[in-house]
Structure formats: structure tokens, C-alpha cells
Amino acid sequence: MTILSDLVDGALADMARRQEQVSLDDLKERARRQPSARDAVAALRAAGPVAVISEIKRASPSKGHLADIASPAQLASAYEAGGAACISVLTEERQFHGSLADLDEVRAATSLPILRKDFIVHPYQVHEARAHGADLVLLIVAALEQTVLTSLVERVHSLGMTALVEAHSRLEALRALDAGARVVGVNARDLTTFTVDRANFAQIVDVIPEGVVAVAESGVRSAQDVLAYAQDGADAVLIGEALVRDGNPRDAVAQMVAAGAHPTLASSRKVRVRSARDHHHSR
């Protein structure tokens, strides 16, 4: 039993409980009443050079309690005011202490694209994300067989949302691309040991073509870390702990955004090589 499989099992058990209350048909009906999903790729590109995805995260398996977040809506508004391009909402209940109610609250508070961050391995969870107003859905390569990954990416895209497909290695990044990902995240956190190694991004990013948005996830503690990820070719960074622990989340986001727009980046930023995959993904 690994940390990831434990998290997936818990998410599936919680989903089974919700399925008893809300049928898939009910979810689809609720999704139909939502405004169309926002274009997260456009939002991430427009916010460049480096977009900031700001996360609402109360707790984590690696750190335990992080922050009392009484109002996810207020925190989302502070993130938006600070210049975030997207908001990430952890909806996993057991270890991260999030919920779909958090997603509903944040949806009502912001017009930014919202990522549903959870351990998503079943189509029901994808429809649930849309029904609660999500625009992006996290899919973790390590948790999914390739055929299942591909079909979930297709389902996410067919509902007008964007899949953020998360990789921890070059092989997983290639699997994400083969599954049709338009946004690939490289997570610095090893899900077997919880070790955070930001250098992981630089070792993987060159397999992600320019036409695909590359997101550096985890381990950003300062504006300097944003700058370093940007220099390595990140199009976006996903930041949780550093923002929820900061007493002034609006200014904290603004500092990260400013770092991503630093003038020195124009000359020092690595441009990812264009490959045949670029052609495929820009069609």
C-alpha cells in the first residue's frame, strides 16, 4: 500500500458515499445549469510570462494542519486581488480537509478558472467537478492506467474543462502527452517519500513541448523559487502552503506574480525545444 493508493482508496470510498446521495444523471443535470467552463489554457497563457495558480489547502499528509481557512471564498478573493491566474481547491476530505462545499463557495466568489484538486480516477468525479463549477481537473499519471488516463482526459475535455495531468518523471510526462494533455504539471513532491525536490522540474520539462502549458507544482516557498522555476521554463507555478500560511495572502500572491514577471526573465528563461509534438498539440 503506497501513500498514493491510500489516498485514491479513500477518495473512492468517499465518492461511493456521495453516489448514494446524488446520481450521475443528477450531476449531469446540475452541470448543465452551470455556465460553460472557463478556458484555463487561455487564462494561464494570458497571465504570463509565469502564471500563478494559488491553492486553498487546509492540511496535507506531509505537514498535517497548515491553516484554518474559515472562508475559502475570502481567500480566493484575496488570491484574485493579488493577481492569481487560477485558483486550486483541494476537495479531498480525509487528509487535506477540503470538500465540494469549498469548491461551491469559491465558484461563487471568483470568475477565475478553478482547479478541482483531488484523487480523481473515476468519471463520476469528473462530472462532479463540472457540476460544482470546476474548470480544470487534476489527473495524476501515477494513479492511472494509460487507457483510463486517456479516457479521463477525453472526458474532461469533452465537458469543456481542461485536464492538468501531473507527472513525477520523464516517462510520466510522456504518458501525459500521449493521453492528450494540454497542461502538464511536474510535481516536485515525491508521493512515496514526501521529499520535495524542485530540481525535478528542470529534469523533466524538456519533454513538454512549447504548445503545452508546463506547470511547476509544489515546493515554492519564496518569490526566488518562482523565478528559478520560470528560468527553467515553467509557464505556471502551483503554490499552496506558502500562501495559506501567509497572514497577507493577497500580497503573498502579488509577490509571486511579480517574480514571474521579472525583467531578467526575458533573457534568462529557457525556451523549451519545439518538437513534432508541438505540431500535434497546436492543431
- Residue from 14, 55, 80, 172 touching ligand LARABZUK (CB under 6 A): that is 55
91 binds ligand LARABZUK (CB under 6 A): no
Q: Which is nearer to ligand LARABZUK, 179 or 216 (CB)?
A: 216
Query: b/e per residue, 112-149, with b = 16+ CB within 10 A?
Result: bbbbbbbbbbbebbbbbbbbbbbbbbbbbbbbbeeeeb
State in angstroms the smallest separation of the CB of 264 from ligand LARABZUK. Answer: 23
Amino acid letter for position 16: A
Q: How far apart are CA 146 and CA 124, in angstroms?
A: 18
Cα–Cα distances in angstroms (integers) from residue 210 to residues 59, 69, 183, 223, 234, in the given order: 34, 36, 11, 24, 10
Residues touching ligand LARABZUK: how many (CB under 6 A)? Answer: 19
CB of 211 to ligand LARABZUK, least distance (A): 23
Strand-pair category, 51-56 with 136-140: unpaired
- Rg of the chain over all Cα atoms, to the nearest angstrom: 17
Interaction between residue 62 and ligand LARABZUK (CB under 6 A)? yes
220 is a site residue for ligand LARABZUK (CB under 6 A):
yes
CB of 278 to ligand LARABZUK, least distance (A): 26
Residue 260 in contact with ligand LARABZUK, rule: CB under 6 A: no
Note whether 239 binds ligand LARABZUK by CB under 6 A. yes
191 binds ligand LARABZUK (CB under 6 A): yes
Name the E strands within the chain.
Answer: 51-56, 59-60, 64-65, 86-90, 114-117, 136-140, 162-167, 183-187, 213-217, 236-239
**Shortest Å distance, C-beta 92 to ligand LARABZUK:** 9
Q: Does 218 bind ligand LARABZUK (CB under 6 A)?
A: yes
